[in-house]
Chains A and B, each alone.
Chain A
């Protein structure tokens, strides 16, 4: 006899309080208002819900899946008054992208509605990029959390269009400092940052390397606030034939699952990640963390790419948060259809209905295919040694029907299901008062400290653990230069069957946002786009992604910082004509410690990709010539707020650099013309650590010395050397072409700052002839190169 695998739950008689308690007891993460809406839905249907239905609604309406805060109406108050933001996403992300799409027809081929957004590469191919966070799982179980974080975003790419090919990955982490003292961790069961870092890196390594997708781009930031809530961003880029981007569901298709089996791992992941972490999370929520099996996903990937090439896929989506529920829900949201849970292959017997339907077991994809393709698909599954299951079919009913052993366990009107109540929120932003002073500096000593800061030191020990060359298309590698170990601003990937290449870069500056979130939003877009152009991408063919993480959105000030960040980001994106093609957000990254709640600073990751028109445009960041000239493009200001130097010096109250987007972008376009004209040998963005660090890093290739002569223009020395003003590039040009290059930048801020020298191997910086820094480059390099090796 088969035991009941589901139950009806009486909600019609409950009041608001009891409904909220039910939500909490079932770990649904639904608010009182949400529960009242659910009650109304079932009152209309004149019946009580099943547990499966409640779980499906909780998952569908979870912050993780619906982004309800980015959709909320926000009353935002600043010194200049109160305004109503009619949805952050709608106002500042979608509207801007649509505007850019109008101005640049044919560039963005798909944005927001699919797993990842696509842009035009050439006449035949399109490329896409998607980044996700896996923060909560990585806090509790770093290896598995990061492992499945990368596995999940790879599946996003496999489920983008009719199945894109994953070709490159990026990873960005925010951790507590690796040298955090144990007694400074004010909560039980929190894993030390070193353990988190090692686990996370190995998790990414073992998934990416086994899948054979090069991990080519990344960054790490360290801050005590990330001790309790580490952030793990994983992103993957994909390539697809243009004709396979559009997909549409229809009635009468087979719904099939391919890949791994379904088990109890990853229950409640979507709702778990939509709530804050506590010490209890480390004990209770283990089941929310999935278990990764990269080889299973590799087999699925081989299957999908072959099936897509044969034209066998009508629709495809990944099983991510919410498992079959979200995958089938997404697929059947318009057509409706029937899913038979008893057909799902299980890892273990005894799963009840909602567990099968909601489990987030990894490595599963759901496809809609024609009946007549089934034979060929089964044959492909045999060849690639993966499991294919006929789960059900789409019909024209508009109703999502889920049965289990002949009993209907879920029957929801697809249209009604996706209407979550809209949230109303309030936020406040009060700017931090700043006044620029002349911060003193001890140039050589400060340079050594800044170069050894965790935010700047070489990530080499980590980069070497990632296979960043598999697929044989990594033309500009994360570490390059004459000794193959100098930092580069972006990675450039060749693309099979195309003359075009693409560049990938990231920017994340959480320290800035603590003082000026608007400036952080601006700078992240600026730096990412600048790095892409600098490495050779065409400025007119760049697209970006936004990934936000924050603490408690119900705190007015924290939400206010988010609003300001979004505004700054949007302003620069619009000016740079860089559309957002995808984005994601993660809230409730706060933790109740023994000393009270600790929130992460509002953190924005901007990752981007841009088309590099020909391999000759690829530009590295390592010095090449022996007598070449170094040009400084852009303007340096005395704005040390948020800088690594200010942090090292313990200086506060300094203004954070503002971004003049119009001026910057005009300069970048001009720079790109110089690249196309063959005037540029190498170029490095001036970012964290300022000009001093940028020049040192260019010299880390080990070939020649560098001499810079700073102008005596009244700017304090500390700002000259260490300001992180945006919009600046350090560009190396051949001595013979220097005059042509300088006249090329005639109407732009361009200064002949220095030159390479064969005579020495030092970084020599003078101001008006007076020696400021004269340090052996190999010694500086060893500070920078070994900064992390003691910890990893």
Chain B
């Protein structure tokens, strides 16, 4: 019997989805520690199994989403997050966390900028699971829904790059409809190891069945797809998968 997998949740001034993200991680089986950035040391990061950056508006996101948080991480923790990932650790960024991981260069090069509508948008969206063997997406079907809530969720990349990410299998999640102008409808990305994952939608807001907007939703009688998202990575880290699931392109298992 292994120890219960442990997740480290980093919190910045303005992070506001830490409570529900911790709730989701714990419901899926993790022990979770929420740490405001001033108390985090490089050692803590290096000894974690999963590092999560939750949604919110770190430092207000007034300059550019995730920019100040990126600088704070670099100032306080140096390259320890990169080393952590390099040594086999998993990292997850949701919404603002996705923006921060992108700024840190832990995910494919690009930026998350203002939605083409110029507006904040809170709605449920359809998603395509393009990497069904990814450690976070293993237990999710080909199509499912999560809610989004962002003003800066349009992924842009250098010319041709987004298409290349698609071909390389890095585009783990795409929107079924264009909601924000994202290149190649990118909703979530993984790095080339498959261990770093960032997405704009909020899996933690679809933990329970009752979270769904339609009381007659044709799904799991107890859990929302968000539960299965966190439970997938839990099983992976707990070593309960039996097989190595790295980049994970291919048919759903």
Contacts and interface: CB of A to CB of B under 8 A. Distances in A.
Given A298-B14, A472-B207, A484 B214 contact: yes
Contacts of A85: none
A467 interface: yes
B141 interface: no
A473 B202 CA distance: 13
Interface stretch (A173-181, A333-341, A380-388, A587-595): A380-388
Interface string A476-490: 010111101000000
B120 A465 contact: yes
Interface string B4-36: 000000010110110110011000000000001
Nearest to A468: B122
A382 B37 CA distance: 11
Contacts of A472: 17, 19-20, 23-24, 202, 204-205, 207, 211
Interface residues of A, number: 41
Interface in A282-316: 293-295, 298-299, 302
A496 B19 contact: yes
A477 B55 CA distance: 20
A470 B122 CA distance: 10
A210 interface: yes
A73 interface: no
A295 B216 CA distance: 38
A678 to B, nearest CB: 13
Interface stretch (B56-64, B128-136, B229-237): B56-64
Nearest to A205: B120
A269 B211 CA distance: 41
B75 to A, nearest CB: 13
- Tell me the dominant secondary structure on chain B's binding face: mixed
Contacts of B123: 464, 484
A641 interface: no
A129 B230 CA distance: 33
A471 B120 contact: no
Contact of A479 (B24, B57, B121, B213): B213
Interface string B146-189: 01010000000000000000000000000000000000000000
Contact of A299 (B13, B55, B211): B13
The bracket for how many chain B residues form the interface is 35 or more
B38 interface: yes
Interface string B110-146: 0000000001111110000000000000000000000
Contacts of B39: 383
B147 A469 contact: yes
B190 to A, nearest CB: 24
B120 A467 contact: yes
Contacts of A481: 213-214
Contact of A210 (B11, B57, B216): B57
Contacts of A210: 14, 16, 56-57, 60
A484 B210 contact: no
Contact of A294 (B36, B55, B60): B60
B199 to A, nearest CB: 15
Interface string A440-468: 00000000000000000000000111111
B38 A209 contact: no
A494 interface: yes
A496 B24 CA distance: 12
A281 B205 CA distance: 44
A212 B16 contact: yes
A463 B14 CA distance: 22
A211 B216 contact: no
A210 B13 CA distance: 10
Nearest to A701: B214
Interface string B52-78: 000111011000000000000000000
B36 A383 contact: yes
Nearest to B117: A464
Interface in B198-226: 202, 204-205, 207-208, 210-211, 213-216
Contacts of B24: 472
- Central interface residue in A205, A472, A475, by most chain B CB within 10 Å: A472
Contact of B213 (A463, A465, A480): A480
Given A212-B17, A464-B122, A470-B149, A482 B57 contact: no
Q: For B57, B122, B208, B214, which residue has the most chain A Cβ atoms within 10 angstroms?
A: B122
Nearest to A467: B149
B56 A466 contact: no
B100 to A, nearest CB: 15
B27 to A, nearest CB: 11
A404 interface: no
Contacts of A473: 20
Contacts of A615: 210
3 tightest CB-CB pairs across the interface, nearest first? A212-B16, A472-B20, A484-B213
8 contacts: A205-B120, A382-B38, A464-B120, A469-B149, A470-B17, A470-B55, A484-B123, A624-B216
